[in-house]
Structure 1
């Protein structure tokens, strides 16, 4: 796999950023940009064009849920950009809300190094496969396949945005 993939990390706690950066560096992933300022996420996202976003949920000024909503408005329809959420709040409602807002995976703090890296590699691999598919298949065909494979015809397994709506899917 390409070790030049770009990873953006947003967490308001510098020790958490340092830990994730060290885990990535040990695996040879060094094309990393990180920030403790969630208000800069869109600016960094637009300039860095990451292949993976690692995002803390509970931050001051702008929480991870709001960041997820902002990122989803920037990701083109039909595009796959994995967002891995890290948080100490592993309640069911938090997990469901994050996933409904576009997170592709979820890890609870304190982080387990092996689990974190397995999830990172899985998400990066999926990103590579999706980008490869986009070069081989016309975009309208991919969107048609996504709609056919979804429960609601929108391309999402569940287009719900609230835990109560998710339970109905």
Structure 2
């Protein structure tokens, strides 16, 4: 796929040589040119090129000054720049260009073989940088979503416990003549409902999917016959909870969790060598629910 290339140079012959190079390299390239650095700066902002090749020695604004302007602007700071020069050719000049933010530096008169190699390297490194940045963003987003889910779940349980505590305090503060057994039985039943969590499952699913969009649809796309308990386990695995935490939340033993996870793994048709936790967490990062084969 062709790239958008901006050439900024106050010499028309230099622009023609570089423009011809990119057109011959790939006719799908879109080549933009500017003889004026200020105009070139505006073109960079408006057109967002994939690469800028520019001269160092230019009137009004030289290449290093223009480079500084580009790197300070949020919309252009990540556009890779190759500096081309016929006068500033010392090692110190090279160090100056790189320190200012140039990705590479080439001497004039241009050697087209060298230019091709430098362009290829800069473009490849820039693509790798974009991929790494996207992976890092996805990882940060995933961690933030897990943190938000855990916070939401803790808040829900805390609210329930506060309600029970208030009711228990009312029993303690009640008149001595009143038998508290009936109220304590009601509180015990309420606590058991919190441990069970089935009554609030539908509400919990709604809140969970606000943080993890389509998560349960993705699970059902892998296996349509999953139960609410299966989905609950998947949600806990997605949140990164360990077996001990899951046992506490589900009010079952550690062995009970292991058996439930084993059955879930079989239901999702995962091989012995496949990790259930990794599968669930990777599934959460998929943008759309997978299509059953």
Q: TM-score, normalised by structure 1?
A: 0.74
Helix, strand or coil for the counterpart of 1:138? Answer: helix
Deviation at 1:87, TM superposition (A): 0.1
Larger RCO (CA under 8 A, 6+ residues apart): 1
Higher helix share: 2
- Evaluate the alpha carbon distance shift between residue 86 and residue 50 of structure 1 in structure 2; reply closer, same or farther with a 3 A threshold: same
Higher strand share: 1
Helix, strand or coil for the counterpart of 2:61? Answer: coil
Matches within 5 A, 1:6-85: 6-28=4-26, 30-75=29-74, 80-85=78-83
Cα separation, 1, equivalents of 2:84 and 2:122:
14
| Structure 1 gaps, min length 5 | 142-169
Asked if the contact 2:71/2:101 (under 8 Å) is kept, the reply is yes
Aligned residues: 138
Asked if the contact 2:33/2:40 (under 8 Å) is kept, the reply is no
Cα separation, 2, equivalents of 1:32 and 1:129:
23
Q: Please say if 1:119 is aligned against 2:98.
A: no
Asked if the contact 2:71/2:78 (under 8 Å) is kept, the reply is no
Superposed CA deviations along residues 40-68 of structure 1, whole A, max 9, x for unmatched, are: 12211111101111110001111111101
Larger Rg: 2
Cα separation, 2, equivalents of 1:95 and 1:125:
21
Superposed CA deviations along residues 79-137 of structure 1, whole A, max 9, x for unmatched, are: 64311000002012221111110111100001001110111111112222222223322
Q: Which residue of 2 aligns with 1:134?
A: 133
- Evaluate the alpha carbon distance shift between residue 81 and residue 140 of structure 1 in structure 2; reply closer, same or farther with a 3 A threshold: farther
